[in-house]
Chains A and B, each alone.
Chain A
Amino acid sequence: MPEATVRKPRPKFLALHEIRLPLPGIVSIFHRVSGAGLFLLLPFLIYLFDLSLGSPETFATYKAIVANPLVKLVLLGLLWAYLHHFCAGIRFLLLDLHQGVELEAARKSSQLVLIVSLALTVVIGVMLW
């Protein structure tokens, strides 16, 4: 096989603030960011889980930590991350099964992922508050 030796210099356009990511692209990068965020804060979540199941005393500590408005905000963010990751993940699984791979359907489903995960965050967030 002939090796391509002469490479045409291709223009690079990687000005992140100027790239307009299409909706499926936004869902995709959110999927990555939410996954990374969940991974980074996983020890905090396991710590809370540990406290909640230790004893009535540690359960009280858990309640006190979770009552802190700042912690609540972080947990709400993590809830959104989890729900986005969840919804986008289901979408990716369906794409793997060749469901909704056409442009129009892919746009619609990515819209749906953003709306459903935000709506679920609001509903569950209100329930847990």
Chain B
Amino acid sequence: MVKRIVVGAHYGLRDWIAQRATAVYMAVYTILFAAAALGLPEMSYPAWHGLFSNGLVRFLTLLFFFALIYHAWIGVRDIYMDYIKPVGIRLALHVVTIFVLVGYAGWAAQILWRL
């Protein structure tokens, strides 16, 4: 009989779940946002700006960006794990990707906060 002992810190499972949870959130947001955007009378600055002046829209959009960034991190990291074998290059890519993504998060927050 094979006795399997599952050990470890379950980092993999946590990311696996996070990738799916963020995906579900983004899917729901996409549908709601598409409906809201299509409901705009016209694609003008006042209408577009008005949509985001709603506090709930702003909050949900910021959450969308955070979900997107976490989701992108897991996905891109998986791609590196599959194709980038030299440890040094992979590590460098990880660091650059994290910096870039954290930067995007700040950028998105700044766009939405400024409104």
A53 contact from B38, B104, B111, Cβ within 8 A: B111
Note all chain A residues with C-beta closer than 8 A to B115: 53
B24 at the interface (CB under 8 A from A): yes
Closest CB-CB distance, B114 to chain A, in whole Å?
A: 8
A36 contact from B27, B79, B107, Cβ within 8 A: B79
Q: Is the interface of B mostly helix, strand, loop or mixed?
A: helix
Instruction: Report the count of interface residues on A (CB-CB < 8 A).
Output: 22
Knowing A52-B48, A53-B48, A59-B45, the reply to whether A39 touches B75 (Cβ < 8 A) is yes
Q: Tell me, in angstroms, the Cα distance from A55 to B115 when the chains sit together.
A: 10
Cβ–Cβ contact A35 & B75, under 8 A: yes
A86 contact from B27, B49, B100, Cβ within 8 A: B27
Cβ–Cβ contact B27 & A43, under 8 A: no
Knowing A50-B107, A50-B111, the reply to whether A42 touches B72 (Cβ < 8 A) is yes
User: What 0/1 pattern do residues 7 to 32 of B give for CB contact below 8 A with A?
Assistant: 00000000000001001100100100
Give residues in A with beta carbon < 8 Å to B: 32, 35-36, 38-39, 42-43, 46, 49-50, 52-56, 59, 86, 89-90, 93, 96, 127
Would you list 29 pairs from A and B whose C-beta atoms are within 8 A, ordered by A residue?
A32-B79, A35-B75, A36-B75, A36-B76, A39-B75, A39-B76, A42-B68, A42-B72, A42-B104, A43-B104, A46-B104, A46-B107, A46-B108, A46-B111, A49-B108, A49-B111, A50-B107, A50-B111, A52-B48, A53-B48, A53-B49, A53-B111, A54-B114, A59-B45, A59-B49, A86-B27, A89-B27, A93-B20, A96-B20
